[in-house]
Structure 1
Amino acid sequence: MSTLEVTSETTDAVVSLEGVRKTYHSGSIEFEALRGVDMRITAGEYVAVVGPSGSGKSTLMNILGCLDVPTQGSYHLGGEDVSTMSETELANVRNRRIGFVFQQFNLLPSLAAWRNVELPLVYAGMGSAERHERAVEALTRVGLGDRVDNRPGELSGGQQQRVAVARALVTEPDIILADEPTGNLDSGSTTAVLGLLDELHDSGRTIVLITHEHDVAARASRNLTIRDGLITADDLVGAR
């Protein structure tokens, strides 16, 4: 199958993993981080992947984010097989179809908020006027319309994470992939950022949240538990 071929089994899922395994080698030592993961996420779902350190959730996040590829198995994103793509193709998918929110914010300190948000559009080759308009619009959507010219150092931790969420939104991606997004925030900022993710879900966004905190995972509508490289539970969560 070519990397652009779409199958009837995968077109109804935004994310579809089948039999995904990931093996790492260090000299003669072999470690299987994922041992046959099957996962389907449909449009508009808010899914938390929960697991302790060493469970395989970081490896799974890297594969979901097209930062790594499976050793075995397949990964379809929006019906497109991304598991056998080249590095250049994967970079294009990451920029167009996945919005990342990381624990460390990953903002450039010398750039104003709107310039941080526009970066994915720069890589996509969009014109400067449209980039600026879309960046300001994204910042306004996360409640920072009055902070577009502030640099990260002039913003609180919670505000910096909102800038990161705006950057994730600006390309209108298929999924928002949030990796421990509240790990560096105080309780007040955590509540605000989780509230923002709730709002994005309510507006129809597909969100995949990676976390080890069960109270954070409880904000999602579905929890997948990963242990020893396998999905061990798939639970619906009660309404917020």
Structure 2
Amino acid sequence: MSADVVSRTVGTRTIIELDGVRKTYATGTIAVEALRGIDATITEGEYVAIIGPSGSGKSTLMHILGCLDVPTEGRYELAGRDVSDLEETELAHIRNAEIGFVFQQFNLLPDLTALRNVALPLVYAGVGPHEREQRARRALERVGLADRADHRPGELSGGQQQRVAVARALVTEPAMILADEPTGNLDSVSSADVLALFRELHDSGRTIVLITHENDVAAQADRVLRIHDGELAS
């Protein structure tokens, strides 16, 4: 999906559909149910926060949304595709092409410039060098860091590093941006800066799902889903 065709408003196309999603972990002879029948729908262009305390199941839910794990029971569809029973190679493709990840840890490679860090997902996707550079530069421009393309992470502030991470998430034009505690390692000024960027991206039509334990961060979204003891609050 190119930037030219992204809807400017919330659309009707379903990006995320969870139907009776459960996740059970076996610890020896004990079964721990981390998710207990999650039902949720997120449509194109929405900005949704999922909030919950430690141990609530939000990290497990994030892993399933990001195709980093699969449900024990239930169905998960991403952009109309049932991902519950896909092989690992197919899940890897979805992670690279259809989901833009932004983590609390910036996960930038310290020896690469901002431009090369942003271009990495395109390398894995087999995009040629010239197109990779063009798209990476456009993504950096989109987050206001075109003039930092040749800087390495150690030469950037925490807020700038997170902006590079956002540009990397955008470069494949994914179905959604999945942000896991994206302000957790930032000071208040940088946090506000990154959240303002998410708002700009949403206003331009981007679908954003933000995982957090902070009420003030969740309040930036247009819809908040609260998870507790593996269940979404009604």
* TM-score (normalised: structure 2): 0.94
CA deviations 1:115-173 (Å, max 9, x no partner) are: 00001000000000000010011001100000000000000000000000000000000
1:27-46 matched pairs, under 5 angstroms: 27-46=28-47
Deviation for aligned residue 1:12: 3.3
Amino acid in structure 2 at the alignment position of 1:200: L
Deviation at 1:27, TM superposition (A): 1.1
Q: Which residue of 1 aligns with 2:48?
A: 47
Q: Read off the aligned partner of 2:18 and give its amino acid letter.
A: L
Q: How many angstroms does 1:72 deviate by? A: 0.2
After TM superposition, list the pairs within 5 Å mapping 1:152-191 onto structure 2.
152-191=153-192
Aligned to 1:118: 119
Aligned mates of 2:19, 2:225 — CA distance in 1? 15
Whole-angstrom CA distance in 2 between matches of 1:182 and 1:103: 6
Residue 60 (structure 1) aligned with residue 61 (structure 2): yes
Q: Aligned equivalents of 1:164 and 1:83: distance in 2?
A: 27
CA distance in 1, matches of 2:106, 2:75: 30
TM-aligned CA deviation for residue 97 of structure 1: 0.2
> Equivalent residue for 2:7?
none
Query: Which aligned runs of 4 or more in structure 1 are off by greater than 3 angstroms?
Result: none
Q: Give the equivalent residue in structure 2 for 1:201.
A: 202
SS at match of 1:111: coil
Query: In structure 2, how many angstroms separate the alpha carbons of the residues matched to 1:62 and 1:39?
Result: 15
- Which residue does the alignment assign to 2:146? 145
Unmatched runs of 5 consecutive residues or more in structure 2:
1-11
Deviation at 1:26, TM superposition (A): 1.5
* Deviation string, structure 1 residues 63-107 (Cα, Å, up to 9, x no partner): 000000000000000100001111111000011100000000000
Match of 1:89 in 2: 90
Counterpart CA distance in 1 for 2:20 and 2:85 is: 14
Q: Show CA shifts across 1:176-219 (max 9, x none).
A: 00000000000110010000000000000000000000000000
Q: Report whether the alignment pairs 1:131 with 2:138.
A: no
Identity of aligned residues (%): 71
Alignment gaps of 5+ in structure 1: 1-10, 234-240
3-state DSSP of counterpart to 1:14: strand
Corresponding pairs, count: 223
> CA-atom RMSD, angstroms?
0.8
Structure 1 counterpart of 2:74: 73
For residues 84 and 24 of structure 1, the distance between their equivalents in structure 2, rounded to whole angstroms, comes to 18
